[in-house]
């Protein structure tokens, strides 16, 4: 008997003023731009027809609004661990500015002063995975993004199965 894997969809919020300017945006609660709202509606088009066992979002307005405009807002539950990375002292700065001061700096190796370490971010991700692992059916996680490009582009979604494949 073959095991059926659920699919986890990772949805990045739509564009904000800081995603345009390249500023690191973690806990600053910015609204979507007009284009960001269009991004979110297009995300809804891409996910149309899918049914999710669980939809989780962060508490930030850009994420909640993306979820609403994509058509999943009424089903979404706020999950504290889905907040973006806490950039601490680097919040609102551009990577190029940080590299001028610290040329060898790597976000996912070094973390951020007065912000989160990579281990702390990993621990949050692990808690989310433990929460959704026993679920039967597909899951939508809204706001698992950073401006680093490590996660999906604004208004997009990746599909991940517990078997580990992305598409």
Catalytic residues: 13, 84
Q: Considering just the CA atoms, what is the radius of gyration of the chain in Å?
A: 16
Count CB-CB contacts under 10 A for residue 76.
22
Q: Where does residue 91 fall: left (phi above 0), alpha (psi -120 to 50 degrees), or beta otherwise?
A: beta
Q: Looking at residue 157, what DSSP letter applies? A: E
Instruction: Take residue 140 and report the two structure tokens written for it.
Output: 């939508």
**Cα distance between residue 98 and residue 59, in whole Å:** 27
**Cα distance between residue 11 and residue 132, in whole Å:** 15
């Amino acid at each position: 008997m073959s095991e059926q894997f659920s699919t986890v969809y990772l949805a990045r919020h739509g564009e904000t003023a800081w995603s345009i300017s390249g500023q690191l945006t973690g806990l600053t609660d910015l609204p979507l731009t007009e284009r960001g709202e269009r991004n979110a509606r297009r995300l809804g088009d891409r996910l149309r027809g899918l049914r999710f066992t669980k939809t989780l979002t962060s508490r930030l307005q850009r994420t909640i609004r993306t979820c609403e405009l994509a058509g999943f807002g009424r089903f979404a539950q706020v999950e504290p661990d889905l907040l973006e990375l806490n950039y601490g002292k680097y919040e609102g700065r551009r990577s190029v500015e940080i590299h001028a001061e610290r040329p060898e700096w790597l976000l996912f190796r070094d973390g951020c002063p007065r912000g989160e370490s990579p281990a702390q971010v990993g621990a949050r991700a692990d808690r989310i995975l433990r929460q959704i692992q026993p679920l039967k059916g597909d899951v939508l996680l809204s706001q698992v993004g950073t401006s680093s490009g490590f996660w999906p582009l604004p208004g997009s979604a990746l599909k991940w199965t517990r078997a580990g494949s992305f598409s």
